Amino acid sequence: MKNRITFIRRIVQIISLVLLVYGGYIFKTRLHTETGKPLFPALKAPEGYMSTTKFKQGSILWPSGDNPVLENYPPSLVCRFNPKGGLFKACIFHFISENLTWQTHIKYLLPHLTLFILLCFLFGRMWCGWVCPIGTVGDFITAIRKKMNIPARRFPDGFKAGLRFSSYGIMGVGFFISGLIGIPNFARFQCYWFLPYCQICPARLICPLFGFIKPGWEDFETAITSMFTILAWFIMGIFLAAFYFGRRIWCHLCPVGLINSFFNKGAGIELKKKAVRCNKCGLCADACPMGLKEMYERNSDGVYNQNNCIMCMRCVEICPKEGCLSASFFGKKITESKLK
């Protein structure tokens, strides 16, 4: 098969999407635990603090379903605003923001964070390329553009660097506001500023649709919710445009991907290059959905897990030189480029 890795990736993406969004129905009876000593402590809003489960239907932060069945289970993976039956509680950004506001004791966060770090240590940012449901939606949009024979737009490196810089800003501001409104003196602002990034994240608008549920996308009740509504739509526009015109350009801006990217260079999954076999054809740089060029530019052997690499392995797949690029898991080779 010509694009074997891409084919496998698509299958994994579809299975992940189904599992993450509806998997709760499958695992509900097995994993849901209210008694005994759970490995992952339940994290709940203290009395008087805002919780997403307390918003009225139709408000901007109204979660689309009941509590996910694995309420007490790992953060990190999918949007909290997924339909009823979702498998996980929330993405890591939601998780950290929420618990900053609730001022949850660190000991209750340790199990959740440990699992998240374990996943990142094993797979790095592979999550973004293989599992993320928003990425899957984006890839679908990109596929539509491809079907229409519209070429992907190339963005300059400075632009991508600017997006990454912005994602640091989004992360910093999001966490700062979340922490600030957790201070009792500022608690009265929680009704407007709770989960500030979630309020503008495109996942909040997209995820409920998987459950045929209308997301809260038109909350103009107050000036602040109006601002968030407009911002959410603006960022949704950027999201759609980014995936339509520029493949995974959005992933440079995504703060969840940013957090995952901190672990990329030391992750178990590795992309290796044997420089002596490279003929500088540039196909790897051309095929990279993130528009990364480091793998192409490097002239020495080594592991090139770049921070922004989503480990889609498109470069390995496209490389025409036998054994030039390879992907391995803790040194054990998974796949390598084949002679074409």
Contact residues toward other proteins (CB under 8 A) are 37, 41, 107-108, 110-111, 113-114, 117-118, 120-121, 263, 265-267, 270, 300-303, 305
Letter string b/e over residues 268-302, b meaning 16 or more CB atoms within 10 A of that residue's CB: bbbbbbbeeebeeeebbbebbbbbbebbbeeeeee
Q: Which is nearer to other proteins, 302 or 320 (CB)?
A: 302
Upper half-sphere CA count for residue 132 (Cβ side, 13 Å): 29
In the bound complex, what is the minimum distance in angstroms from residue 258's beta carbon to other proteins? 16
In the bound complex, what is the minimum distance in angstroms from residue 333's beta carbon to other proteins? 16
In the bound complex, what is the minimum distance in angstroms from residue 124's beta carbon to other proteins? 9
In the bound complex, what is the minimum distance in angstroms from residue 37's beta carbon to other proteins? 6
DSSP label at residue 53:
G
Q: Which is nearer to other proteins, 218 or 301 (CB)?
A: 301
Following CA atoms 233, 19, 137, 228 in sequence, which dihedral angle do they give, to the nearest 10 degrees? 10
Q: Which is nearer to other proteins, 121 or 220 (CB)?
A: 121
- Strand 302-303, strand 269-273: pairing: antiparallel
Q: Which is nearer to other proteins, 27 or 108 (CB)?
A: 108
Q: Which is nearer to other proteins, 2 or 37 (CB)?
A: 37
- Which amino acid is residue 89, in one-letter code? K
What are the angstrom distances between the C-alpha of 296 and each of 14, 273, 275, 313? 30, 9, 9, 14
In the bound complex, what is the minimum distance in angstroms from residue 240's beta carbon to other proteins? 34
Query: Residue 115: how many CB atoms within 10 A of its CB?
Result: 17
